[in-house]
């Protein structure tokens, strides 16, 4: 069973539902309903997502590994590894694209997240930002549409989930403000805990409408 983006609520729809976002922090950006219709958080398996491009948390060999990387290679089939073998690896913060083969996604962007070090916080943050930025750029240059992100570096690579999520979301907000080609960004998480972190941070960067303004959560797809 694969999942269509049409069946995943946008932030607009989430805010319009009864489930009020729980966040204590003040918004860092202005409310923009057009942007809220282009972003989603979804708890599920990224290998089942019907997307134009999904983002794999790869290692620098680009030859597969554990976690989400292993799951993507298993679901895509052996042709993915064959194509990856021709890419010559990638540096931390760098991203390379392949086809999706047996996946329900057209393309896979293999991005190499930083291995977190508390002694190099700024460098890790820059590298993680680059992972999100280069993946979004590649989605745009491959025709845009729906991009699904795994939570880069927050598994085995040990990046603190809250810090990583802020970088993921802020990089996306700045990108979407200038781009028209990416119609939906879907953050795919595996655990309930990670879902809650995303749901607590998203309203700071993509605020809900002011309470006087009612939103009908119009779909645009
Ligand atoms: P990294 O090495 O970059 O830390 P991991 O694969 O260890 O990457 O973890 C990244 C995130 O991907 C973790 O939150 C993990 O729970 C999640 N994850 C693992 N498998 C899947 C999957 N099939 N779909 C979506 N997310 C997944």
Element (H, E) at 12: helix 11-16
| CA 152 to centroid of ligand 1, rounded, Å | 7
Q: Edge-to-edge strands of the sheet including 107-112? A: 39-43, 182-189, 145-149, 53-58, 107-112, 95-99
Q: Which pLDDT value is given to residue 25?
A: 77
Report the domain count for the chain.
Answer: 1
pLDDT-derived band at 216 (thresholds 50, 70, 90) equals: very low
Check pocket membership of 57 for ligand 1, CB cut-off 6 A: yes
In sequence order, what are the residues at sequence separation of 6 or more whose Cβ sits closer than 8 angstroms to the Cβ of residue 184?
A: 5, 10, 38, 39, 40, 145, 146, 147, 221
Cα torsion 157, 162, 165, 167: sign: negative
Q: Which pLDDT value is given to residue 219?
A: 38
**Packing angle, helices 161-178 and 121-141, rounded to 10:** 40
Among 60, 112, 150, which is best to mutate for testing ligand 1, by the most ligand atoms less than 8 A from CB? 150
Q: Is the pLDDT of residue 20 over 60?
A: yes
Query: Which atom of ligand 1 is closest in space to residue 67's alpha carbon?
Result: 6
Query: Which atom of ligand 1 is closest in space to residue 72's alpha carbon?
Result: 23
13 found inside a domain: no
151 found inside a domain: yes
Domain that holds residue 64: 32-206
- Full-prediction pTM beyond 0.85? yes
186 found inside a domain: yes
Q: What are 122-158's pLDDT values in tens digits?
A: 999 999 999 999 999 999 999 999 999 999 999 999 9
12 found inside a domain: no
59 found inside a domain: yes
Closest CA to ligand 1's atom 20: 68
167 found inside a domain: yes
Q: Which pLDDT value is given to residue 217?
A: 43
Q: Could you tell me the CATH number of the domain that includes residue 51?
A: 3.40.220.10
101 found inside a domain: yes
Contact 176, 24 (CB under 8 A): no
Task: Give the range among 56-60, 139-143, 165-169, 212-216 with minimum mean pLDDT.
Answer: 212-216
1 found inside a domain: no
What is the C-alpha to C-alpha distance for residues 28 and 204, in angstroms, rounded to an integer?
Answer: 5
Q: What are 171-183's pLDDT values in tens digits?
A: 999 999 999 999 9
Angle CA 177–168–170, to nearest 5: 40
């Amino acid at each position: 069973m694969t999942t269509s983006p049409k069946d995943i609520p946008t932030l607009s729809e989430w805010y319009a539902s009864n489930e009020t976002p729980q966040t204590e922090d003040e918004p860092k950006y202005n409310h923009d309903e057009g942007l809220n219709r282009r972003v989603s958080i979804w708890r599920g398996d990224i290998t089942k997502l019907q997307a134009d491009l999904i983002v794999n948390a790869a290692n620098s060999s680009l030859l597969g590994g554990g976690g989400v990387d292993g799951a993507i290679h298993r679901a895509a089939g052996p042709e993915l590894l064959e194509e990856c073998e021709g890419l010559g690896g990638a540096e931390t913060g760098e991203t390379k694209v392949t086809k999706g083969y047996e996946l329900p996604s057209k393309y896979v962007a293999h991005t190499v997240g930083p291995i977190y070090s508390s002694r190099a916080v700024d460098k890790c943050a820059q590298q993680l930002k680059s992972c999100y930025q280069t993946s979004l750029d590649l989605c745009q240059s491959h025709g845009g549409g729906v991009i699904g992100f795994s939570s880069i570096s927050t598994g085995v690579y040990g990046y603190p989930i809250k810090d990583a999520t802020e970088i993921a979301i802020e990089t996306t907000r700045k990108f979407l403000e200038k781009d028209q080609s990416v119609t939906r960004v879907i953050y795919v998480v595996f655990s309930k805990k990670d879902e809650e972190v995303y749901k607590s941070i998203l309203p700071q960067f993509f605020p809900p409408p002011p309470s006087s303004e009612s939103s009908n959560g119009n779909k645009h797809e």
